Structure 1
Amino acid sequence: MQIASGKRTTNIILFLAIIVLFSSVSLFAANAAFAVRDEIYTGVKIGNIPVGGLSEAEARTKVTTLMNDRLAKNPLILIYKDREWTIQPTEIKLSVDIDSLIKQAYQVGRSGNIIQRLQERYITINKGYQLPINFAYDKEKLSEILTSIATTLNQEPQSAKVVLNGVKIVSIPDTEGLKVDVEATTKAINDKINTDSLPYKVSLVVNVTKPNIVLEDLKSIDDLIASYTTQFNSQNENRVQNIRLAATSVNNILLRPGETFSFNQTVGLRLAEYGYKEAPVFINGKLVPDWGGGVCQVSSTLYNAVLLADMNILERTSHYRPPGYVPLGQDATVADNLLDFKFSNSSEHNIFIGSELTDTHLTIYVFGKSEKRPEITVAATDKKVIEPNTIVKQDPDLELGKEVVESEGEKGFQVTTYRIKQLNGKEISRELLAKDEFPPDDRIVRVGTKNLHDQK
């Protein structure tokens, strides 16, 4: 039994050895046959183009014909949402180094030592061997095209806003900001070209920016709570320019419940580099040219509008001299890094501030939620006029006894202002806003002391 079993095992081993021998002989014969033929080995592909069994010249012709046809029929397509841009391969000089690919294809199974060559040939014949196609293109030209596309797509974010259309409150939706990332898009195109086959479809890389105010923020705003208008001289161009810049800065402002508004932070520094010009302002009681003259009219107009809207005043300073564009005691002066005007939204809902400028008038609007509110007025009481002192100066260069008025002086004022709230015709509260004092400017008279006898 053991002798028969051993003999059977020997026969099986011998049979397997014969199979291996014949397979090896066949493999070596096949490899030998290919080795002496001047053809690319069967199973080799360039991309998805079979070139096995072809000479280098035949493979070159085949690949060139197919690639030219594919490039002609398959442009690069860039996509963003429902928009498409088509780039023809010729526009960016998209090309393939076919000669290099043919040489690589021919070298498959012909490089390395004998074992490496045999192994590579076996794999190629039985499983196939694919060479990737690497495209080249004009990167500068692609960048130019992408930049051109970006100019048609890029846009700054636009906040939602509230406008007054006659007597109707209209909310205008927001718009997202879009900016094409040219560098990231170029990388995506490069990756696509070198990993996928034609046709190429690539999504543009676009950075999206949300605006500061979206339509959802305005859903409860349906009423004009308050407004205030002041007048200015349109002939003073520099002052009008400053008013326009500051009014634009306080336009389309959203304040949520409890949030604080700072005029200086919102408007920024009033400097020439930001477009502000010199215009008359009061400095130490004197009217002199200075950068940003006229901006205080915007802060004062805003002050009165938010007073009537029942907002909480946090910081307010009166001018040295009372301006003529608001009633006495109802001004609010500002100065860079020194004096600010601040208030907070003391309501339970969002409010929206808008400004409107005509040739001669500035109006500030405060929009909010429609609800029953008390009637608000601002009243000035305890007004007092302070007469200027007269200062006499002796002038030795003026004839004896002669008087010359050097300065007429300015009257001063004292005033107390209140915010009064009435409901159904009855006063429900009286809030002290401020006790302001505007000091007078002295009247100055020069009196001559020159001795006429001394001249003789």
Structure 2
Amino acid sequence: MCFVQTVTSKNSSIILFLIIIMIFSSISMIAANTTFMVTDGIYQGVTVGDIHVGGLSVTQAEQKIIAEFRERTAKAPITAVYQNQKWTITAQEIELGIEADKLAQQAYDVGRNGNIVHRLKERYLAVNKGHSLPLTAHYNHDRVHAILLDITRSIDRQPQNARLRLTGNSFNVEIVPETIGRRVDLTKTIAGISENLNTSLMFTLNISVEELIPPVVASDFAHIDGLIASYTTQFDLWDQNRTQNVLLAAKSTNGILVRTGEVFSFNNIVGLRLAKFGYKEAPGYINGVLVPDWGGGVCQVSSTIYNAALLADLSIEERTAHFRPPGYVPIGQDATVADNQLDFRFKNTLSQNIYITTEVFGNQLIVNIFGKRMDNLPEIYVVATDKKVFEPNTIIKQDTNLELGKEIVEVEGQKGFQVSTYRIKKVDGKIANKEFLASDEFKPVDKVVRVGTKIPPQQSKK
């Protein structure tokens, strides 16, 4: 019984002690807040951005904010930085300003709005932990955008693919590394200005820049060490329109990496052969008739690549012969193309990546394919067999408007051909494989002759 009384007595003492502490704490808090209530200045701990205005009147705070603004913006308040480059942006350039009277009033209102609990809480936190108001500086957004756009032009850089080039006159190659591109993120950079101006009138802005990795990098050439196939055709430089088309298509197909297992599509790489892309009208076959056509001559580029791909032992996925055999490749070794209709495609079936260059030197169009040179590779030939020649017929048309006995050749006849092509692989001089490629037939074009049947009127006798 005595034990219970002792414990109860101790508990009572603890409770009494806690009550005393709470009373003194409440008295201290009430006293402190009573002090807050009687002050006519901004509560201690209040800042506008990084400008301390605690203890000042509204007028004094406004004057201090104005003075600080003028001092800090006398020099360029913003320093934009990217790597080792720096650009200064002045307050005048962007029409930077603040509404000091509103900011001072906002500072004064801290701890004076809301119910009593809210006011006491704001006062207590301001004194003990600080209360910062944003500067909310205003500026000309269009000028900021224009200034950053100028900065962007000196930073932005287009990515460039890694490429191969021949060393000297040999068939060895060296790698020219890629160029990493750069692009300024204007939206993010402008947002950084707005965010910084909420807290400080002088700051360094790190320009947000995104790196642009090109599609082809040096590591893509890790297993490419030399030339594995090459093919050359010639064209007439005097035909300026056709030459222009050949040059454009050659440029599009120059420096193309085809990874192992990928399919090369001529149409996808070259794109539409339209006037707006620089292509000219030049002779080409449409429905069997030789007429001016946009992009005429581009088929020479596809045919040259076709022959180089055959010699590189690549798999031909799509190839179509011309209506008439062109003169720049042997019969049966051409590959015609047409926008949205006929494509030339091959697949890289080798175990390593390949790299294609298509270049023009004088009147020569040269396609080189680089890859991994292997020992004891077979020699590859393309041969045409089972050749047949079809003589054209001659069609006579009587022309009543043409004088009797006169003849005019309306259509020059052309011979027709039939040919089968094979890819031959030889090892140690012996045929190891004979691969059928295609059987092409070029129909003859009949010769058309107009013969006059008109009898001339007899001359009148004198």
TM-score (structure 2 length as normaliser): 0.85
Helix, strand or coil at the partner of 2:413? coil
Cα deviation for residue 108 of structure 1 reads 4.2
In 1, are the aligned partners of 2:36 and 2:43 still within 8 Å (CA)?
no
Quick check: 96-105 or 66-75, which moved more?
66-75
In structure 1, what is the Cα distance between the partners aligned to 2:429 and 2:22?
Answer: 117
Helix, strand or coil at the partner of 1:244? helix
AA aligned to 1:143 is H
Partner of 1:104: 106
Helix, strand or coil at the partner of 2:329? coil
Cα deviation for residue 442 of structure 1 reads 1.5
1:15-414 pair list within 5 angstroms = 27=32, 30=35, 34=39, 39-72=41-74, 75-108=77-110, 124=126, 128-166=130-168, 167=170, 168-194=172-198, 196-197=199-200, 199-372=202-375, 373-414=377-418
In 2, are the aligned partners of 1:74 and 1:200 still within 8 Å (CA)?
no
AA aligned to 1:209 is L
In 2, are the aligned partners of 1:417 and 1:432 still within 8 Å (CA)?
yes
Cα deviation for residue 302 of structure 1 reads 0.7
Quick check: 295-304 or 200-209, which moved more?
200-209
In structure 2, what is the Cα distance between the partners aligned to 1:78 and 1:406?
Answer: 75
Is structure 2 residue 430 aligned with structure 1 residue 426?
Answer: yes
In 2, are the aligned partners of 1:74 and 1:198 still within 8 Å (CA)?
no
In 1, are the aligned partners of 2:69 and 2:201 still within 8 Å (CA)?
no
Change (3 A) 1:103 1:278: same
Identity rate, percent: 51
Cα deviation for residue 420 of structure 1 reads 2.0
Quick check: 177-186 or 305-314, which moved more?
177-186
Change (3 A) 1:40 1:402: closer
Quick check: 183-192 or 139-148, which moved more?
183-192
Change (3 A) 1:135 1:330: same
**RMSD across aligned positions (CA):** 3.5
Cα deviation for residue 269 of structure 1 reads 2.1
In 1, are the aligned partners of 2:316 and 2:346 still within 8 Å (CA)?
yes
Change (3 A) 1:223 1:134: same
In structure 1, what is the Cα distance between the partners aligned to 2:437 and 2:24?
Answer: 110
Q: Deviations over 1:254-285 (max 9, x none)?
A: 21222222222222222223222110012344
AA aligned to 1:267 is V
In structure 1, what is the Cα distance between the partners aligned to 2:422 and 2:306?
Answer: 13
AA aligned to 1:154 is D
Change (3 A) 1:171 1:31: closer
Helix, strand or coil at the partner of 1:135? coil
AA aligned to 2:97 is S
Which of 407, 410, 419 aligns to 1:415? It is 419
In 2, are the aligned partners of 1:400 and 1:451 still within 8 Å (CA)?
yes
Cα deviation for residue 371 of structure 1 reads 1.0
Change (3 A) 1:47 1:449: closer
Change (3 A) 1:54 1:325: same
Partner of 2:449: 445
Quick check: 240-249 or 126-135, which moved more?
126-135
Cα deviation for residue 448 of structure 1 reads 3.1
In 1, are the aligned partners of 2:308 and 2:367 still within 8 Å (CA)?
yes
TM-score (structure 1 length as normaliser): 0.86
Helix, strand or coil at the partner of 1:242? helix
In structure 1, what is the Cα distance between the partners aligned to 2:418 and 2:186?
Answer: 64
Q: Deviations over 1:328-352 (max 9, x none)?
A: 2221111222222121112111111
Change (3 A) 1:381 1:187: same
Change (3 A) 1:179 1:24: closer
Number of residues paired by the alignment?
A: 450
* Unpaired segments ≥5 residues, structure 1: none
In 2, are the aligned partners of 1:56 and 1:103 still within 8 Å (CA)?
yes
Cα deviation for residue 296 of structure 1 reads 0.7
Cα deviation for residue 73 of structure 1 reads 5.5
In structure 1, what is the Cα distance between the partners aligned to 2:346 and 2:23?
Answer: 100
Cα deviation for residue 27 of structure 1 reads 4.9
Change (3 A) 1:403 1:231: same
Change (3 A) 1:300 1:119: closer
Change (3 A) 1:192 1:450: same
Quick check: 102-111 or 156-165, which moved more?
102-111
In 1, are the aligned partners of 2:223 and 2:353 still within 8 Å (CA)?
yes
AA aligned to 2:384 is A
In structure 1, what is the Cα distance between the partners aligned to 2:85 and 2:135?
Answer: 29
